[in-house]
């Protein structure tokens, strides 16, 4: 897939994985929309650092469907197309798995709303525009926590499992015009999880065959492979985990 002249939308674009993905997409020739929720200055800084021209920041809060639809309308009006959608926005909090009481209803609802309802609402809003491309791709950023039941808390793994299953259903109904793939990293050394230290991430990485921490740009490289190279693949999960799933 040639990205010259194409438009890519990245939710959570001011985060580590989102910004690394935006940079890779821009380097490949796409005009990139950096979606953000509450950090416009960081999103604008990401846009300013992207190579080439035609990029912009756009508020896309995962919990506000009307604003997501408005964002899709703005992309359609200003850029005229959307060929790539990367759902990188998400939310979690460190809760020990054994502490069931600490994982209260409000936190569970917030995690599932951000990690499941939000990506679905974004896909729903952008699909009409993406179908016009005829060769579009959606990439959801999930987690190996969905498969192995680890991660920052039990609800987080459950929300990512829901995201994975949702992608399978979407791959069936959106083909042949839109491919849907999932990139599932292990613990990445970013500030995404409040309270998680680099030492904690390194301990997890030490249990994998490759024994090193996954970097945000490695996740972005997997997204690029899904977009550019895996043109006959849809509905599949791509792990970026140092081999965690194989032991």
Q: Which residues are catalytic?
A: 156
Smallest CA-to-CA distance from 89 within 53, 54, 64 is with: 64
**Angstrom distance (rounded) from CA 34 to CA 8:** 9
Strand order from edge to edge, sheet including 31-36: 56-59, 31-36, 7-11, 84-87, 136-141, 178-185, 237-240
φ, ψ for residue 9, nearest 5 deg: -110, 130
Are 33 and 56 a contacting pair, CB within 8 Å?
A: yes
Are 181 and 234 a contacting pair, CB within 8 Å?
A: yes
* Length in residues, the chain: 247
């Amino acid at each position: 897939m040639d990205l010259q002249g194409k438009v890519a939308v990245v939710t959570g674009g001011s985060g580590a994985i989102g910004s690394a993905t935006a940079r890779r997409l821009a380097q490949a020739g796409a005009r990139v929309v950096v979606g953000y929720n509450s950090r416009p200055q960081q999103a604008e800084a990401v846009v300013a650092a992207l190579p080439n021209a035609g990029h912009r920041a756009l508020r896309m809060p995962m919990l506000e469907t009307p604003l997501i639809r408005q964002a899709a309308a703005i992309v359609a009006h200003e850029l005229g197309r959307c060929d790539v959608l990367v759902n990188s926005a998400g939310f979690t909090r460190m809760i020990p798995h054994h502490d069931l009481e600490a994982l209260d209803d409000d936190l569970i609802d917030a995690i599932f709303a951000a990690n499941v309802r939000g990506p679905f609402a974004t896909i729903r809003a952008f699909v009409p525009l993406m179908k016009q491309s005829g060769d579009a791709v959606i990439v959801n950023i999930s987690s190996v926590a969905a498969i192995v039941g680890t991660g920052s808390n039990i609800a987080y793994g459950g929300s990512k499992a829901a995201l994975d299953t949702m992608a399978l259903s979407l791959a069936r109904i959106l083909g042949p015009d839109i491919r849907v793939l999932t990139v599932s990293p292990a613990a990445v050394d970013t500030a995404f999880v409040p309270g998680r230290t680099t030492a904690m991430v390194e301990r997890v990485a030490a249990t994998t065959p490759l024994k090193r921490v996954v970097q945000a740009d490695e996740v972005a490289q997997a997204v690029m492979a899904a977009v550019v190279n895996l043109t006959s693949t849809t509905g599949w999960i791509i792990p970026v985990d140092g081999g965690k799933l194989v032991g």
